[in-house]
Amino acid sequence: MEFDYDLFVIGAGSGGLAASKRAASCGAKVAIAEGDLVGGTCVIRGCVPKKLMVYASTFSHLYQDAQGYGWSEVQPSFDWSKLVEVVNTEVLRLNKLHISFLEKNNVELIQGRATLVDPHTVGVGDKTFTAQHILIAVGGVPTKIDRPGIEHTITSNEMFHLREFPKRFAVIGGGYIGVEFAGIMNGLGSQVTQIIRKDRILNGFDGDIRTEIQEGMIKHGIRVLHGVDDPTLAIAKTDEGLKLTVEVNGNTETVVADAILCATGRQPNLSELGLDKAGVEVTPKGAIAVNPDSSSVSQSHIYAVGDCTDRINLTPVAIAEGRAFADTVFGHTPRYITHENVASAVFSQPEAATVGMTEEAAIDRLGEDSIQVYRARFRPMFHSLTGADEKTLVKLIVDRTTDRILGAHMVGKDAAEVIQGVAIAVNMGATKKDFDATIGIHPSTAEEFVTLR
């Protein structure tokens, strides 16, 4: 059978862009369909605009910290509309840049939401296209809990387009998205309340990381309501603002806010994709079921990468999966990526980053007596003159039998930058002896990883 394309990619996010360009470089005839801006969640309404807002929010602390170094006190003012404007201008610039990259790589961009018509046919608008291989890279979408008045809340999608700055801001959810936006809005001057079900934020992260960030957020002025009886949550629109009520330890707590962010999770963006028409199997959790090489378990010529497979929902992972797919199918170099020891960061305030196993996971797998934990908690040198009550945490988890580093974790300024380098060592199988034999860079926070005793 003759096809219109060797590869048709549905979704021009990180994974789809990486796969389409790599496949085209191997000589494949490629088309990619996108019904939104090109760039995906990360570029349009995720990592990139969020990190820009993180940068913006840190200046308020720097004005205060500078006084400890002899700078005079200033009374800065903040313009929310200016920030929203420049952030979205940058998003549009990146959208155009990614379109130009597709053009340079001879990938045809088809504007519109694509759906599967049958195992080898994709429909976009009133047109249909056939392809020998199909790659689904549609990412994920935020979800909301079903509670009275939840329609008055926003998701992370709308955070970058708020017309007015919310002086009172509430966050429902303790995951990394909620934690990051709580820090952003607090730094920009909002009165922030974070509402979580458990005792601590960031479920699934190392326990010390969770505690350190939460304590840091509270010191920065964020109110954390923990142990919330989730089913009792309700929201009403009143003259004084959005009124949120919830039960906490048997008591009714009330929060009044100008905006409420519902950050209670994300799910694969599979609605109206036509997976059933193409015979693509979905997991019980609503993700596309794939093999280790990203091929669909039910249709060997249909692949899926990124958040729609719900493996590890990170931009660099989607990119790596997309390139591995293209190398395997079109570059004739079979490979697939490992999802072990993938480094990640939470751009909270304080910032955190991690690679490898948490202490809890290491104990669960090997037993408490089989691991050794090294940690240091200290005031970073920067704050020796500011007077701020800030702490940095560095932590290593080591296998007692092999001396291999199982996990590395950090909370503090530039944690992501530091852990990115440490992740290389962890993935290479470095031991604690290797770390000890490395001479540190002094004075730096990173040197603490090679001086832990």
Report the C-alpha gap between 348 and 182 in whole angstroms. Answer: 8
CB contact set of 262 (below 8 Å; sequence gap of 6+): 142, 144, 145, 150, 153, 154, 155, 172, 173
CA 268 to CA 411: how far, in whole Å? Answer: 30
Structure tokens at 239: 């003259």
**Contact by Cβ (8 Å): 273, 134:** no
**Phi-psi bin for 143: left (phi > 0), alpha (psi -120 to 50), beta?**
beta
d(CA 175, CA 193): 14
What element of type H or E holds 128?
A: strand 127-136
The DSSP call for residue 70 is T
Q: Catalytic one among 98, 220, 339, 442?
A: 442
CB atoms within 10 A of CB 150: 16
Run of H or E including 31: strand 30-34
Give 230's strand partners: none
Q: Are 396 and 405 in contact (CB under 8 A)?
A: yes
- Tell me if 22 sits within 8 A of 327, measured CB to CB: yes
DSSP 197-257: SSSSSSTTS-HHHHHHHHHHHHHTT-EEE-SEEEEEEEEEEETTEEEEEEEETTEEEEEEE
Q: Is the dihedral of CA 382, 201, 185, 344 positive or negative?
A: positive
Q: How far apart are CA 295 and CA 278, in angstroms?
A: 14
Based on the residue annotation, tell me whether 442 is a catalytic residue of this protein.
Answer: yes
| Catalytic residue positions, numbered | 442
